[in-house]
Amino acid sequence: MMTTSQTPTKTILRALAGETLPTPPIWMMRQAGRYLPEYRATRAQAGDFLSLCYNSELAAEVTLQPIRRYGFDAAILFADILLLPQALGMDLWFETGEGPRLSTITKDADLAALKPADAIHDHMAPVYETVRILSRELPSETTLIGFAGAPWTVASYMIAGKGTPDQGPAHALKAENRALFQGIIDLLTASTVEYLSMQVQAGAEVVKIFDSWAGTLQGADFADFALEPARAITVALKERHPGLPVIAFPRGAGERYAGIHAATGADCVALDDGVSAEWAAEHVQKDGCVQGNLASSHMVTGGQALVDETRRIVRAFSKGPHIFNLGHGITPDADPENVTLMIETVRGG
C-alpha cells in the first residue's frame, strides 16, 4: 500500500497524486468484457457470469486479458457491484440477455433479515483471493483498482430486484418509508467500507466507487444519498489506509460534478460523457485529478471521429492531472481494434 510519505512511480498513482503527466495514463471501464473473444471463452469455461466472479483463478485471468492485449496502465478487479447484496444475504442471479435479478427489500423485516456489515467476509473470500493473485501477477507498472458500488446505486437494485430505467421503486421507497430507506443506505455504507478495506489489505492500490444512478437524485437527495455516503466511505477508508487514492464516479451528475472532490474527499472524479471535457477542465479538474470521458460509442464506430474526439479530450485536460477513460463501460458490440486505435492516439498524439 502507498502512504502519503512515498512518491508513487506508477503513472496512474502519479496522476491520482495530482501530477500533470505529458501523456495521460489509460484504462477503460469494463475493459474485461464480452467484446473480447478471450473473455467469452473464459466465461464459458466458468459456466456463467457469477461463477466467473467467484472463481478466483478465472476472475484474475479475465482481469489480466486486457492488460496483456493492450498494456493498459491499470487493471480493475473483475467482480460486480451486486456481489455485496448477495454477501449481505440477498438472492442474486443473472437472467441471460436481461441482466441482474435480486430478492427485494420492501419492508422493515427485509432489512432486519440481512447480515451485519462485518459479516460479509466469508462470502467475499474468493474476491479477496482474486485481488491477491492479481497483486502477484500484474506487471510492476500496472496499478490494481478495487471497486464497489455506491450505496444509492446498489440500493436501487436491492429495492427493485432488478435494473430499472429510472430507479422508480427506490425513489418511491425513499418517499414512503424514509427510515427503512436510510437504514439500507447506512448498511451499504458500512459494508462497503468493510469490503473495500479488505480489498486494500489484499493488494488493491486504488478504490473506485461506482454511483451509476447518482444523476437521478434531485435537490437535497443528491447531497444526502450520493455525496454523503461517498464522503463517509472515503473518510473511513483513508483513516484505515492513509494515502489510499479514491475515485468517485457520480454518473449523470452534470453541472453538479463541480465541487465533487471537496464534497467527497475523493482524489479523482470520473466523468461520464454528459459533460464536455472543456467545461470539466475548468470546473472540475481545477480541484484535482479527473478521469474520462470519451463516449463508449466510439469503440463501436471507430474511424476519424474516434481519433478526433480522443485528441480533443486529451488536449482539453492537458493542463492538469488526467486519467484517460471512457465515459461509461465499453459495450459488447465494440470492435477490439478501435481500442487499439484509441490507445495509439492517446500515446502517439
H or E element that contains 170: helix 168-176
152 near 81, Cβ under 8 Å?
A: no
Residue 169 in contact with ligand CP3, rule: CB under 6 A: no
The site string for ligand CP3 over 78-117 (x = CB under 6 A, - otherwise) reads x-xxx----------------xx-----------------
Stretch that binds ligand CP3, among 8-16, 28-36, 130-138, 238-246 (CB under 6 A): 28-36
Active site residues per annotation = 30, 34, 43, 80, 157
CA distances to 83, 118, 301 from 37, rounded to whole Å, are: 24, 38, 18
322-326 sheet: strands from edge to edge: 74-76, 143-149, 206-211, 246-250, 268-270, 289-294, 322-326
Cell output for 62: 479475465
Q: CB nearest ligand CP3: which residue?
A: 212
DSSP collapsed to 3 states, 114-152:
CCCHHHCHHHHHHHHHHHHHHHHHCCCCCEEEEEEECHH
Coil, strand or helix: which one is 331? Answer: coil
Which residues touch 300 (CB under 8 Å, ≥6 apart)? 331, 333, 334, 335, 338
Residue 42 in contact with ligand CP3, rule: CB under 6 A: no
Q: How far apart are CA 68 and CA 167, in angstroms?
A: 37
Coil, strand or helix: which one is 311? Answer: helix
Alpha helices in 8-97 (DSSP H): 11-16, 37-46, 49-53, 56-70, 83-87
Site for ligand CP3 in 319-338 (CB under 6 A): 329
| Shortest Å, Cβ 308 to ligand CP3 | 25
Q: How far apart are CA 284 and CA 259, in angstroms?
A: 7
Say how many residues touch ligand CP3, by CB under 6 A. 21
CB hemisphere CA count around 308 (13 angstroms)? 4
Stretch that binds ligand CP3, among 25-33, 130-138, 177-185, 296-304 (CB under 6 A): 25-33
- Choice between 169 and 281, CB closer to ligand CP3: 169
Amino acid letter at 199?
Q
Q: Give which of 73, 63, 61 is closest to 23, Cα–Cα.
A: 73
- Choice between 24 and 252, CB closer to ligand CP3: 252
- Choice between 100 and 288, CB closer to ligand CP3: 100
The site string for ligand CP3 over 231-270 (x = CB under 6 A, - otherwise) reads ----------------------------------------
Cell output for 53: 466472479
- Choice between 31 and 192, CB closer to ligand CP3: 31
| Shortest Å, Cβ 90 to ligand CP3 | 14
The site string for ligand CP3 over 274-313 (x = CB under 6 A, - otherwise) reads ----------------------------------------
Provide the Cα torsion 100, 104, 105, 110; round to 10°: -130
Residue 29 in contact with ligand CP3, rule: CB under 6 A: yes
Residue 26 in contact with ligand CP3, rule: CB under 6 A: no
Residue 210 in contact with ligand CP3, rule: CB under 6 A: yes
| Shortest Å, Cβ 72 to ligand CP3 | 10
The site string for ligand CP3 over 134-153 (x = CB under 6 A, - otherwise) reads -------------x-x----
Among 12, 14, 31, 54, binds ligand CP3 (CB under 6 A): 31
Among 16, 17, 26, 30, binds ligand CP3 (CB under 6 A): 30
Q: How far is CA 156 from its chain centroid?
A: 16
Q: How far apart are CA 301 and CA 299, in angstroms?
A: 6
Binding site for ligand CP3 (CB under 6 A): 29-34, 43, 49, 76, 78, 80-82, 99-100, 147, 149, 163, 210, 212, 329
